[in-house]
Amino acid sequence: MTELWVEKYRPKRVAEVVGNRESVETFVKWMKQWELGRPPEKRAVLLYGPAGVGKTSLVLAYGREHGYDVVEVNASDWRDEARVKAVVGESSLQATLEGSTKKIILVDEVDGIAGKEDAGGIAALSRIINETRVPLVLVANNPWDPKLAPIREKCLMLEFRRLKKTEVVKRLREIAEMEGIKVSDAVLEKLAERSEGDLRSAINDFQAIAGGRKVVDERALEALGSRNRVREIFDALRMVFNAKSVRAARAALEGLEVDLDMVYTWILDNAPEQIPDPADLAEAFEALARADLILARVNRKQEWRLMRYAIPVMTGGVALARKHKPSGFVKFTFPPRIRFLQATSAERELRRSIAQKIATRLHLSTAKALSQMLPYISFIMVNDGGMGEALARYFEFTPSEISYLKGGKAEEAKEAGARRRAVRRKKS
């Protein structure tokens, strides 16, 4: 078994920790005070934030770089006050002797000990913070549990946010280079999107789809969560369209191992058949459009925290809009959107190739070449053999591209032109 990349590529120095610069720097300053023999006013620090964003890695990297022994205590190691004292208490009360190794105590998953069975665990930890003579670092995903209140006020609180997509991609790219793996930006971006700012899961996914190969392409992505997709989607859709509350609608997607974009498309394309009343449908589409906007903000501004609104808005919005149901059962269908894109892929590919040739010669983007040049060139090729041939030579179109461009129906165009002229006349 090869080494896990998350371990292999854990940062060795503080500078290598990805993202969250502000909290990282504050942590370093806090440690510096210990280093100088002037323990800070707050003897413990609480690093909090979602999983896989570098909280533990920061502490380990610091320890390694500055010669500290990091004594790790995991929440699962302790159940009550006695154990807390046994594990943390002793090391924390030992003054660091001249020449002996320096220590950092790292208590992971602090929110995990807030439960019932750990009666006294929090109180003990709170007392230890008062007395500790070595740096005490607590780590939590959710620090806002009321039971953690006594600890919170004694700790320097440092927030760790989800990493930006670009940060995740950058790190994955570095790993790819060190592993000698050829992989496109698109794949890394997909991995980063999937991870929602959790670098650890992104690295794990990357290692999983790489599976020891030296070239990783988009097909490899399909390996991630593709089991039983269609059946799962049908069940989820039934729940979404029939939900009576926002909560139920949201729950429909829980545990669904399907890409959010994919579920979105299924809902989008089944809505017209499932929602017969036009006013209801307009409501449903407005909700879908608003969910789309939320997702756009997440993507563009890297505002991962907004992610949580997208699913309830899209599922709940559709469910509540559906005040009238079709008479009789209407089955869910495979999205026409996907069929459409499949059916037109050859034509789109051809148009794209034509547009690229136009773009490079006319100082345009491919998008502009496609929409603003191609139709005119096509018109010319349909109408005037000489001028058309000359243009084809200039752009170096292939025979199939030429025959596509000439395929436009001239007669139909004339009629459309005449109709248009009539309409204009009427307007003015």
Partner 1 sequence: MLPWVEKYRPKSLDEIVNQEEVVSSLKNILQTKAVPHMLFAGPPGVGKTATAHAFARDLFGPNYIENGYFLEINASDERGIQTIREKVKMFARQIPMGEYSFKILFLDESDQLTDDAQHAFRRVMEQFSVTCRFILAANYSNRIIEPIQSRCAVFRFKPLSKIHVIQYLKRIADNEGLEVDDQAYEVIYDFSEGDMRKAINILQACASVSKRIEEKTVYEVMGYVSRGEVRRILELALSGKFTDARDEVRRLLYVQGIMPSDLVSAIYRELFYIDLDEDDKLELLDLLGEVDYRISEGATPEVQLMAFLARLAAKRKRA
Please select the residue that binds partner 1; options are 76, 344, 400, 403, rule is CB under 8 A: 344
Among the residue ranges 51-59, 70-78, 194-202, 414-422, the one whose residues contact partner 1 (CB under 8 A): 414-422
Q: Between 153 and 185, whose beta carbon lies closer to partner 1?
A: 185
* Closest CB to partner 1 among residues 88, 369: 369
Instruction: Name the DSSP class of 253.
Output: T
> What's the full length of the chain, in residues?
428
Query: Coil, strand, or helix at residue 248?
Result: helix
Secondary structure (3-state) at 391: helix
Candidate residues 391, 397, 401, 405; the one interacting with partner 1 per rule CB under 8 A:
391
**Rg value, the chain, Cα:** 30
Phi then psi for residue 427, to 5 deg, are -65, -45
Instruction: Kindly tell me which residue out of 302, 311, 357, 404 binds partner 1, with binding defined by CB under 8 A.
Output: 302
Binding map of partner 1 across residues 4-33, x = CB under 8 A, - = no contact? ------------------------------
The strands making up 155-159's β-sheet, listed across from edge to edge, are: 68-73, 102-107, 136-140, 44-48, 155-159
Using the contact rule CB under 8 A, the part of the chain among 52-60, 68-76, 142-150, 379-387 near partner 1 is 379-387
Bridge partners of 385? none
Stretch touching partner 1 by CB under 8 A, among 10-18, 67-75, 94-102, 357-365? 357-365
Q: Which of 125, 113, 119, 104 is nearest to 76 (CA)?
A: 113
Rounded to a whole number of angstroms, the minimum distance from the CB of residue 290 to partner 1 is: 8
Name the strand (E) or helix (H) holding 146: none
- Tokens 């809902």 found at: 267
- Report the largest interatomic distance among the alpha carbons of the chain, rounded to a whole angstrom: 96
Q: Tell me the closest approach of the beta carbon of residue 273 to partner 1, in angstroms.
A: 8
Residues 149-168 that bind partner 1 (CB under 8 A): 164, 166
Q: What is the footprint of partner 1 within residues 31-60 (CB under 8 A)?
A: none
Residue 134 or 281: which CB sits closer to partner 1? Answer: 281
With CB under 8 A as the contact rule, the residue among 209, 388, 397, 405 that binds partner 1 is 388
Which one, of 225, 230, 223, 228, lies nearest residue 334 by Cα?
230
CA distances 135 to 15, 124, 154, 423, Å, are 20, 16, 13, 79
Q: Is 96 in the site for partner 1 (CB under 8 A)?
A: no
Identified binder of partner 1 from the candidate list 390, 398, 403, 407, rule CB under 8 A: 390
Comparing CB distances to partner 1, the nearer of 82 and 418 is 418
The 3-class SS string of 100-145 reads CCEEEEEECCHHHHHCHHHCCHHHHHHHHHHHCCCCEEEEECCCCC
* Choice between 8 and 278, CB closer to partner 1: 278
Q: Give me 142's structure tokens.
A: 């959710």
CB atoms within 10 A of CB 112: 17
Q: If we measure between CA atoms, which residue out of 186, 188, 197, 265 comes closest to residue 230?
A: 265
427 near partner 1 (CB under 8 A): yes
Phi, psi of 44 (to 5 degrees): -125, 155
Residue 418 engages partner 1 in binding (rule: CB under 8 A): yes
Distances 299 to 168, 193, 266, 317 between C-alpha atoms, Å: 13, 8, 21, 21
What are 149's two structure tokens?
A: 């209140």
Instruction: State yes or no: residue 316 binds partner 1 (CB under 8 A).
Output: no
Q: Which stretch binds partner 1 (CB under 8 A): 14-22, 213-221, 239-247, 333-341?
A: 333-341
Per CB under 8 A, does 371 bind partner 1? yes
Side chain identity at residue 254, one-letter code: E
**Site for partner 1 contains 338 (CB under 8 A):** no
Measured from the CB atom, the residue of 30 and 241 that comes closer to partner 1 is 241
Smallest gap from Cβ 289 to partner 1, in A, equals 4
| Closest approach of partner 1 to the CB of residue 158, in Å | 24
Q: Applying CB under 8 A, does 181 fall inside the site for partner 1?
A: no
The minimum distance between CB 352 and partner 1, in angstroms, equals 8
Q: Which ranges of 139-164 does DSSP label H, i.e. alpha helix?
A: 149-152
**Restricting to residues 214-273, which ones interact with partner 1 according to CB under 8 A?**
268, 272
Residue 413 near partner 1 by CB under 8 A = yes
- 94, 149, 361, 400: which one binds partner 1 (CB under 8 A): 361
Please report whether residue 309 would count as binding partner 1 according to CB under 8 A: no
398 binds partner 1 (CB under 8 A): no
How far apart are the C-alpha atoms of 394 and 319, rounded to whole Å? 55
How far, in Å, CA of 318 to CA of 177, rounded? 44
Residue of 394, 398, 400, 407 interacting with partner 1 (CB under 8 A)? 394
